[in-house]
Structure 1
Amino acid sequence: MSASYAARLLAWFDVHGRHDLPWQHPRTPYRVWLSEIMLQQTQVRVVIPYFERFVAALPDVRALAAAPRDDVLALWSGLGYYARARNLQAAAQACVERHDGELPRDFDALLALPGIGRSTAAAILSQAWGDRFAILDGNVKRVLARHHGVAGWPGLPKVEKTLWAIADTLLPQTRMADYTQAQMDFGATLCTRHAPACLLCPVNDDCVAFAQGRVEELPTPKPTKTLPEREATVLLLEDRDGRVLLHRRPATGVWAALWSLPQGEDADAALAWLDAHAPNMIDAGDRDTPHRLQTVHHGFTHYRLQLHPLYWAGLAPRRAVRDNDDLRWVARDELATLGIPAPIRTLLLSPRVALED
């Protein structure tokens, strides 16, 4: 009889796993938690530099809880899915209020914190303290669906329940931190979504998908649907010193609380915003003849967005205008200090190439 699933996976991990990730040294609850949140929807190679900058600036729960919101969003800027950063800080503040500034070593208490679901709570407990909890992230769902021949899209409650039950039965008695990391590494580097290396797999001798030639069809893909298209117009106003006017987004919704460009559903709505605000910001003569810039395309989970920039250069802001909480002129070298959506940051840092009118 072959060794247990966990034993074979751990033996593979000892030779081929990732042992030098920054959150493993030291593997504190805070660092594990931060890495798990960053790794949601984002690959390890992308996360590493963000993680290192984040912990250098905010090394523990109390520092994160006390940090200005703009600092947290600036450190996150470029990672996307900004609700993760807002929930991260809200959870840190809850830990200060309820748990003496530490992450609780309790599953239900972790689950009660913003942004922490069942798998993330389990990953924190198993990696930070070695507690015996199963995880079920996207990599693990794929591996278990193949290994046990579980059909159906893993996002369906019935299928997910089956996979959780399987994950619980496979847990080893020891080395939980290594086992948790091994599962993630195995799915990310060997049992990949496309072209998995089945001949090198340490658990292929009892893999249902491998035996039945179903590796490519499992896990069952999510039913496809055409994403709707949306459009908006953004206003890029630049003064004679090269500063740009930024507008803070509302506290809820897309890009919540980030600094962006003034925006309207269409050109008329965007220009109406300018008409309402310009008398206090720029001379009337400066408002004529904007340049149209190249459309910016950006994909969200549920729709695709086309941003049409209108650009004014060489504006002379009125001296009476002062920055407030929601509107400010920002120099190019200050952009890195603010949380700005990735497509807007790309637009701001790109050469201004006007389209022909």
Structure 2
Amino acid sequence: MSNPINPNNCRSRRRECEPKSQEISEKNTFASLVIEWYRENGRNSLPWQYSNDPYPRWISEIMLQQTQVATVIPYFLRFIHRFPDLKTLATSNVDEVLSYWTGLGYYARARNLHRTAQIIKNDYQGNFPETYETIIRLPGIGRSTAGAILSFCFDKPYPILDGNVRRVLARYHAIDGWPGKIEVAKRLWHFAEMHTPKSNIGEYTQGIMDIGSGVCLARQPLCVKCPIASTCKAFEEKNFLNFPGSKPKKIRSYKKMIMVMIRDQAGDVFLHQRPTIGIWGGLWSFPECPQGLRPEVWILESFGLYVRCEQPWEGFRHQLSHIELDIQPLPAILTKPKLVTKTSIWYKPGMPIKLGLAAPVTRLLEKLKECPI
């Protein structure tokens, strides 16, 4: 005989303590309301929704990590135009792949896309895997992304838990705490699994994503338009802004960066490829002279180039997700014949380039076009 539920232990977790039969009933109601709402109000014309082919859906899901739909759409369209299928992506140069990612940020996503395309081409005869156990092992694909691919492309009932869905479930079940904490994430995944229906999984998945992105907004949720508001715990208690819990604040770090813009007499600019680990990993950039060193000496020791530095340009600040960069552009003129290595090039500003460039580098290259030697 099962132990009775102790109501004294259920004050902050009432819904988790309800009988299993009520969970089943709530699951059916929750999913059906989401699906019904989606059929009337959901998005169905996004550029990656026109096919069940897993390739464009996979590309979109990776791009949508940490990035909003409106920002992703133009990048997605350009990317798919250049890399229309998995084989094209797998056989392309990773530098060109990164060039189509320039400005989107989180560049490890692009490198993982390229690696995954090569794995699928070589190990799976170019066919996207159809099992969770296989998909989850591919570079750059986590549990939620795998669930989205399986739901949309293979009609398999796997849950998702992106940022928007986390907000919906945290409010609906009044789950305290920051979702980045392991215990909070476990509770959210429990409810994500509980609500995932066995049928109409694609409509449900897109529906709960759309509710999160367009109705259950972070600062000003449109509760009057929400199909599940009548049973939402946060709405009932009028404290929806308390859920989900906020991420603990971190003190932002700052870094001073001297970008040495070396040009030869023809106006060609020296660029080198950054290490894959660290800021702008794998992208092409101007040499970054460490603080406290003479740039001419450091350039000679690091790249074998003899240069004469000129007056520095006005500095500017560039913000990344975790750090703020104070960038000091420093023009320099090559004084002896130039060298080329496997990780460096000489580039003529304004010419087409199929290399991944960080946003500040693109900005400075544009300015260099207007500043002849």
TM-score in same-fold range (> 0.5) = yes
> What is the match of residue 355 of structure 2?
338
Establish whether residue 132 from structure 1 lines up as the match of residue 150 from structure 2: no
| Residues in 1 aligned to 2:344 and 2:72: alpha-carbon distance in whole angstroms | 30
Once the two structures are overlaid, the 10-residue window that deviates more, 147-156 or 52-61, is 52-61
Contact 1:23 1:31 in 2 (8 A): yes
- The answer on whether the counterparts of 1:293 and 1:353 sit within 8 Å (CA) in structure 2 is no
Q: Deviations over 1:258-285 (max 9, x none)?
A: 110100222625443223367x655x6x
Q: Is 1:262 matched with 2:279?
A: no
1:269-316 per-residue CA deviation (whole Å, 9 max, x = no partner) reads 5443223367x655x6xx14x12222232233332222211123xx46
Question: 1:138-153 to 2 correspondence within 5 Å?
Answer: 138-153=163-178
Say whether the 8 Å CA contact 1:22–1:52 is kept in structure 2. Answer: yes
**1:88-167 to 2 correspondences below 5 Å:** 88-167=113-192
- Residue 199 of structure 1 is matched in structure 2 by 224
**Structure 2 counterparts to residues 68-87 of structure 1, below 5 A:** 68-87=93-112
Deviations 1:241-269 (Å, cap 9, x if unpaired)?
A: 44321111123322122110100222625
Aligned in 2, Cα 1:240/1:105: closer, same or farther, shift over 3 Å? same
Match of 1:227 among 252, 259, 270: 252
Aligned to 1:304: 324
Q: Please say if 1:321 is aligned against 2:346.
A: no
State the secondary structure of the residue aligned to 1:231: strand
TM-score, normalization by structure 1: 0.90
Whether the aligned pair in 1 keeps the contact of 2:350 and 2:366 (CA below 8 Å) is no
Q: Relative to structure 1, is the Cα distance of residues 335 and 194 closer, same or farther in structure 2, using a 3 angstrom cutoff?
A: farther
2:108 & 2:129 partners in 1: Cα distance? 22
Aligned letter for 1:210? F
Judge which range, 134-143 or 261-270, deviates more: 261-270
- 1:256-295 matches, cutoff 5 A: 256-266=281-291, 268=293, 270-276=295-301, 281=305, 287-288=308-309, 290-295=310-315
CA contact (8 A) 2:262 2:334 kept: no
Aligned partner (choices 176, 192, 195) of residue 170 of structure 1: 195
Q: Is the Cα contact below 8 Å between 1:231 and 1:306 reproduced in 2?
A: yes
- For structure 2, the 5+ residue unaligned runs are 1-24
Secondary structure at the residue paired with 1:305?
Answer: strand
In structure 1, what residue type is equivalent to 2:156? D
**Alignment-mate amino acid for residue 165 of structure 1:** H
Query: 2:214 corresponds to which letter in structure 1?
Result: T
Q: Is the 8 A contact 1:296 1:343 kept in 2?
A: no
Residues 262 and 270 in structure 1, CA contact (< 8 A), matched pair in contact too: no
1:245 aligned onto 2:270: yes
Q: Percent identity?
A: 38
Q: Where does the alignment leave 5 or more consecutive residues of structure 1 unmatched?
A: none
The alignment status of 1:34 with 2:45, answered yes or no, reads: no
Question: Structure 1 residues 273 and 167, CA, compared in 2 at 3 Å: closer, same or farther?
Answer: same
SS at match of 1:266: coil
